[in-house]
């Protein structure tokens, strides 16, 4: 496969990044080769190397692209937090449903970041200090203002809630349906059941009781 005639370099780069992102998310960096990426992108391996060098450089570029993609969720949730909902239940209702739906729509990005954590055993410093920690701190402060609890007491519950939402967002639909007992129901009913469960679970983790599910409906 050769370079497409009159190919736009930026379009070609995005094509490579998209192909690499999918393969890295599913197979990890060790289970993916530049040849695999080139084949999925429909390009030559030499062209992939021309734009990104080796596999490590391409992997870093994919991770940064995925973080920018996920950053749009952080921006949306940060804006919601800044609005200071009237009750903590309303905050949980909106944040959990928004987060779950976004993660389902960006599963490759979420999966890649989770796989990167599992393979390395930690989140890189740029990701942690630049996006994850600030969001954790702001979420805890907003909940503290609404509940009267100390921010420090909310940090671990907030982080546990994030882990829970992320795990369910990565679960295949057929598995979610089997868990929810909705195998004969339409897809939207399965996802609605999962959202309801997540809202109630996060409310419980945060010590908010069972009112979050119906709040703001």
124 versus 196: the higher-pLDDT residue is 196
Q: 113: domain range?
A: 62-205
188 versus 70: the higher-pLDDT residue is 188
Has residue 178 been placed in a domain?
yes
Q: What local confidence, expressed as pLDDT, does residue 82 receive?
A: 67
Kindly indicate the confidence band of residue 209, based on its pLDDT and cuts at 50, 70 and 90: low
Least confident among 66-70, 181-185, 193-197: 66-70
- pTM, rounded to two decimals: 0.79
Q: What local confidence, expressed as pLDDT, does residue 6 receive?
A: 53
171 and 101 both lie in a single domain: yes
3-state secondary structure of 8: coil
163 and 198 both lie in a single domain: yes
The secondary structure of 39-95 as a DSSP string is HHHTS-HHHHHHHH-SHHHHHHHHHHHHHHHHHHHHHHHHHHHHT--SSHHHHHHHH
Span 73-87, average pLDDT: 69
Query: Which backbone phi and psi does 155 adopt, to 5 degrees?
Result: -60, -50
Q: Rounded CA gap, 187 and 185, in Å?
A: 7
Q: What local confidence, expressed as pLDDT, does residue 215 receive?
A: 45
Kindly indicate the confidence band of residue 47, based on its pLDDT and cuts at 50, 70 and 90: very high
71 versus 199: the higher-pLDDT residue is 199
170 and 100 both lie in a single domain: yes
159 and 187 both lie in a single domain: yes
Q: What local confidence, expressed as pLDDT, does residue 81 receive?
A: 64
Q: Rounded CA gap, 191 and 182, in Å?
A: 10
Whether 212 has a pLDDT exceeding 50, the answer reads no
Has residue 105 been placed in a domain?
yes
Count up the domains in the chain and report the number.
Answer: 2
Instruction: Answer left, alpha or beta for residue 216, where phi above 0 means left and psi between -120 and 50 means alpha.
Output: left
Whether 174 has a pLDDT exceeding 70, the answer reads yes
92 and 195 both lie in a single domain: yes
Q: What local confidence, expressed as pLDDT, does residue 2 receive?
A: 47
Domain boundary among the residues 36, 53, 70 is at: 53
Has residue 215 been placed in a domain?
no
Whole-number percent of the chain with pLDDT over 70: 88
73 and 137 both lie in a single domain: yes
Q: Rounded CA gap, 124 and 107, in Å?
A: 20
**124-157: per-residue pLDDT in tens?**
777 777 777 888 888 888 888 888 899 999 999 9
Q: What local confidence, expressed as pLDDT, does residue 216 receive?
A: 41
Whether 193 has a pLDDT exceeding 60, the answer reads yes
19 versus 141: the higher-pLDDT residue is 19
88 and 163 both lie in a single domain: yes
Whether 19 has a pLDDT exceeding 50, the answer reads yes
């Amino acid at each position: 496969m050769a370079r497409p005639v009159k190919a736009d370099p930026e379009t070609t780069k995005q094509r490579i990044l998209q192909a690499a992102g999918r393969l890295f998310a599913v197979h990890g960096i060790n289970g993916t080769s530049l040849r695999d990426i080139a084949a999925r992108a429909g390009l030559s391996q030499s062209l992939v190397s021309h734009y990104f060098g080796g596999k490590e450089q391409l992997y870093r570029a994919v991770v940064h692209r995925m973080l920018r993609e996920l950053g749009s969720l952080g921006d949306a949730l940060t804006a919601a937090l800044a609005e200071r909902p009237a009750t903590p239940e309303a905050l949980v209702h909106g944040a959990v449903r928004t987060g779950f739906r976004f993660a389902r729509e960006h599963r490759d990005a979420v999966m890649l970041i989770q796989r990167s954590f599992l393979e390395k055993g930690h989140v890189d410093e740029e990701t942690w200090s630049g996006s994850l920690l600030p969001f954790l701190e702001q979420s805890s402060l907003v909940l503290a203002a609404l509940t009267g609890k100390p921010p420090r007491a909310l940090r671990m519950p907030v982080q546990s809630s994030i882990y829970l939402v992320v795990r369910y967002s990565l679960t295949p639909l057929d598995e979610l349906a089997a868990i929810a007992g909705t195998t004969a129901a339409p897809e939207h009913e399965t996802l609605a059941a999962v959202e309801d469960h997540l809202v109630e679970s996060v409310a419980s983790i945060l010590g908010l009781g069972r009112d979050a599910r119906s709040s703001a409906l």
